[in-house]
Each structure stands twice: as structure tokens, then as C-alpha cells.
Amino acid sequence: MGLSFLVVKYLRPTLFKAGKGFSILDIEKLANEHLLPIKPYIPGKPVEEVQRELGIDDVVKMASNENIFGPSPKVVEAICKAASAVNFYPDGGSYYLRTAIAEKFGVKFENVMVGSGVDELLRILCVSVLGPGDEIIFADPSFVMYGISAMVANAGMVKVPLRDGYYHDIPAMIDSITDRTKMIFVCNPNNPTGTIVKKDEIDLLMEKVPENVLVVMDEAYYEYVQDPDYPQTMEYFKQGKNIVVFRTFSKAYGLAGLRVGYGFVEEKLGEVFHRVRNPFNVNLLAQTAALVALEEQENVRRVVDSTVAGKEQIYAGLDAMGIRYVPTEANFILIDCETESVPVFEALLRKGVIVRPGQFLGFPTCIRVSICLEKENERFLVALKEVLGK
């Protein structure tokens, strides 16, 4: 009996016709049903795609909250030196990077997790903790990967609308806790609004949340925050509270292209992380770069100072045009164009300026704009003025 006969005999019920003959397996019957409703994450348009589609050479990307100022030159130098060793596997446990992070933040080595961006850490956490019947709570709109990660784990979601349209409603999130709640996600500063949850609100959350519910703080934009009322959540972690803290090297450290996220978890939960994560989940160049970047705090301060200056520049330009925006503690600004965002996005695109339309972020009339160098910021302001007729 030939292989082809066996394939047709035993898989025939899952085949479907597509044009002439049989095509591939019917994925809707083959895939796990709970995964089918997931809408894939849509990143900001890359510069190369815009250049190719519109035939524009001079394009500036202000869509993905990237650090346009770049990493420290010492980081780039270290990457170049390490490149000749990429034929070898990286350190599977990221020993030196985790050791350096543990020493910097005053925690045990076993408390430190690293991954291919915070995205991977969120995924690992969800599949480690959640299952059918469990629920997570998070603000809406907020970072879409919370919901996607929960759906991968076949868990439910409770979305709590933002207070006044832009701020976490911590009391409402507390009121949403049930016996099915396993985790509460707090994006601080929040993406896409740039707003923060202040210390007294986190104090309230940590006081009211049951001991069997894990509070997950996503602090990807931690370094940019200027508000003195921003909570220092590592204090809760060191006190043994039921909290996980995630941060990243993608933003202020300028390593978005290498994907290095890190986090602080309770030791026994860390053991579960290592059972679930992929081997060699942080590559050689990423480990090398992050280790050097961690020492380059002066470069981080330079990036943050330049970002704050750029923020004030964009604020001034928007104020002069009478355009509303949400004051931000991150490296991006949510701007209300008071009209559908997709046509604004497309018009700016034709002028060589890539922004993020709010249609896909939960704010249909807004655009989200990354803070860049003075020249790029000015180019955006001029283009926006022309597009909106201001």
C-alpha cells in the first residue's frame, strides 16, 4: 500500500477542494478552536515597504515607539566583536546577563527572567499560569499582547474601559476580580495613551488584590517617566508581594531589533518559566548587547533627555495648531485629529511620514506618533498641518 494512498485514505475527511484537485488540510478543523479568533498583531509599516509601495526615498518612521537616538556606540562595538562567534549557540541560561540584572536591581539570580522581548515573557507567563476557565483583567485600550497571550492559553479576558478615555480605572479593575481571576495586567506607562498609574493607585491595587491573583506590571517605558508619583514597583517585589515586573531593552536602551526583555518573578514561578521557555531564547548578539547596554546608563540619560526635549517640541507645535493630545510619560504621543485616523495616516504616508493610525489601537480619531529628532519632529508637524488644513 503506497504512502499516497494512505494519506488520501486517512486524511480525506479533513481535505477541501480549491480549484483543481485537492489542496491543503482544512485548518479550521485541524487547528485548536480557541486560537482561530485571534487577530494577529499588526506592527507599524517599515520604511522599506513605504519606499517600495509609494516610490518615496525620503521616509521617516514615527510609528513603532522606537528609540531613534540608537544604542551606545560601545554596544555596537560589542555586537561587531561578538558577530564572529554566531556559529555557536548562545548561553542557554543567559547567565551573565541575568547575573548583571540581578546585581543592578538587588534581587536573586533566580528571580530574573529574560526573553525575546517582553512579548515572549508575557506568552510564557500566560501558558505557565492560565488555562480554560481562568481569566485575566486589563485596561482597554492597552497593549494588545495581553489578550493574545491569554487566548493562546485558552483563558478568558475581562477588559476594563479606561477612565476618562485615557487612564487606568484601578477601582473598576479591582471590582472586576472574581474567583476566576488569575492575573491583572497594568501597562505603566500605558501603550497607546502614554499615561501612568500613580503610586497611590498601585498601593490600593496591592492592598485589595487577593493573594491568589498575580499583578503583572508591564514597564516597557519605565526609563522615560518624569512624574515623581510614578510607583517603584520593585519595592513591592522585594517585599514578597504577588507581583511580576517586566521591562525591556527595546526602548530607552535602543535594542528593539535584537529583542531582549527581562522580568522579575518569584523563584518557584521562575522554575516554571524555565520549563516552558524555548532553549536559547535570547540569541548571542542580543545577550552581548544587553550586557553592555546595562552599563551604559549615561547613554540612557541622553536618550531620555533628548526624548523629553522632542516631546516639548511636538507639544508646542500641536498647541500652536490647536490640536488636542494626551500628555505622555513615554516616547510617543497620542494625538486626536478629530477625524477618522486612517485617511490621515495615508495622507501622511504620501508625504513620507509613517505614524500609527489609532483605528487599530482603540482610538479611531487618533494617531500615535513616536518622538524623534528635532528635524523629524518638525517634518511631522509641517506634514500634519498640511493634511489637517491647520
Query: Following CA atoms 265, 67, 85, 82 in sequence, which dihedral angle do they give, to the nearest 10 degrees?
Result: -100
pTM of this prediction? 0.89
Grid coordinates given for 208? 485589595
Residue 102 has a pLDDT of: 98
Q: Please state, as a whole number, how many other Cβ atoms lie within 10 Å of the Cβ of residue 314.
A: 23
Per-residue pLDDT reduced to its tens digit, 109-141: 999 999 999 999 999 999 999 999 999 999 999
CA distance 226 to 207: 25
Q: Report yes or no: 45 and 56 within 8 Å, Cβ to Cβ.
A: no
Residue 24 has a pLDDT of: 57
Residue 15 has a pLDDT of: 45
Q: Report yes or no: 347 and 339 within 8 Å, Cβ to Cβ.
A: no
Percent of the chain topping pLDDT 90: 84
Residue 34 has a pLDDT of: 82
Residue 307: which of 374, 229, 257 has the closest Cα?
374
Enumerate residue ranges in the chain where pLDDT < 50.
1, 3-19, 21-22
Residue 46 has a pLDDT of: 73
Q: Please state, as a whole number, how many other Cβ atoms lie within 10 Å of the Cβ of residue 19.
A: 6
Residue 55 has a pLDDT of: 74
Residue 6 has a pLDDT of: 45
Residue 11 has a pLDDT of: 46
CA distance 367 to 369: 6
Mean pLDDT of the chain: 92
Residue 4 has a pLDDT of: 47
Grid coordinates given for 302? 541622553
Residue 290: which of 327, 261, 324, 326 has the closest Cα?
261
Residue 17 has a pLDDT of: 47
Residue-range domains of the chain with CATH: 47-69+298-388 (3.90.1150.10), 75-295 (3.40.640.10)
Residue 164 has a pLDDT of: 96
